[in-house]
């Protein structure tokens, strides 16, 4: 099944849609991914107001990005990823959704050895299962032990083959409140159980 993996660097907190920041804008999931799917998923994304969508037009590039205009120009000319202003990206990934076990394999239901490997490089790991309409969604967040960056991930099962798509958000430096609002607003549009994710079969 095609999956969409969203990586968002921020701190999860419950905020109402009325608290939506003027520094953020709403885009549909279709627009966010450049209409990569031949159907629509009822999922609303929040994006920093200063970001614009950038195609992966460099030779060998595997990801597509949302970033500031100036960072987009830097990336286009040097291939360097932006620092400070953060960015969002999406690309194919290895995570799959297995309907029989109801697991996003590789992201949840890990055995003790796999979980230990994840915890060796990340701390404060949390996972929550949600739905966007009929589509299963896994939200996960953790803090990279080496960089201290909080990483946010969203996996969406799209029920098309076994492909997957990864979308990543790297938090802007010193803008934790903005990234908190972004993640909370994305979560606002999902039906989340706030229950532990399925365990390994």
Each residue's pLDDT tens digit, 146-164: 988 778 888 888 888 767 7
Q: What are 42-78's pLDDT values in tens digits?
A: 998 888 888 998 876 665 566 778 888 888 888 878 8
- Segments making up each domain of the chain, as ranges: 3-192
Tell me which of 75 and 25 has the higher pLDDT.
25
| Strand ranges, E, within the chain | 3-8, 24-28, 44-48, 51-54, 64-68, 87-92, 96-98, 103-105, 122-132, 135-144, 150-157, 164-170, 191-192
The Cα angle at residue 114 between residues 137 and 154, in degrees rounded to 5: 20
Q: Rounded mean pLDDT of 173-183?
A: 72
Instruction: Specify the pLDDT at position 60.
Output: 58
What's the pTM value of the predicted model, to 2 decimals? 0.79
How far apart are the C-alpha atoms of 195 and 82, rounded to whole Å?
35
Give the SS3 label for residue 146: coil
The percent of residues in the chain predicted with pLDDT above 90, rounded, is 12
Find tokens 């098309």 and name the residue.
160
Residue 132 bridge partners (DSSP): 135
């Amino acid at each position: 099944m095609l999956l969409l993996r969203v990586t968002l660097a921020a701190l999860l907190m419950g905020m109402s849609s009325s608290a939506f920041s003027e520094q953020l804008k709403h885009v549909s999931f279709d627009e966010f991914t450049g209409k990569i799917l031949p159907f629509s998923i009822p999922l609303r994304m929040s994006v920093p107001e200063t970001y614009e969508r950038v195609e992966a037009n460099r030779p060998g590039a595997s990801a597509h990005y949302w970033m500031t205009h100036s960072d987009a120009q830097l990336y286009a000319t040097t291939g360097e990823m932006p620092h400070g202003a953060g960015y969002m990206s999406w690309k194919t990934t290895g995570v799959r959704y297995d309907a029989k076990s109801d697991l996003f394999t590789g992201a949840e239901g890990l055995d003790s050895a796999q979980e230990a490997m994840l915890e060796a490089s990340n701390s404060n790991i949390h996972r929550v299962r949600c739905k966007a309409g009929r589509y299963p969604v896994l939200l996960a967040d953790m803090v990279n032990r080496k960089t201290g960056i909080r990483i946010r991930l969203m996996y969406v099962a799209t029920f098309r083959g076994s492909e997957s798509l990864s979308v990543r958000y790297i938090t802007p430096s010193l803008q934790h409140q903005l990234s908190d609002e972004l993640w909370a607003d994305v979560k606002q549009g999902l039906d989340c159980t706030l229950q532990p994710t399925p365990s390994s079969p």
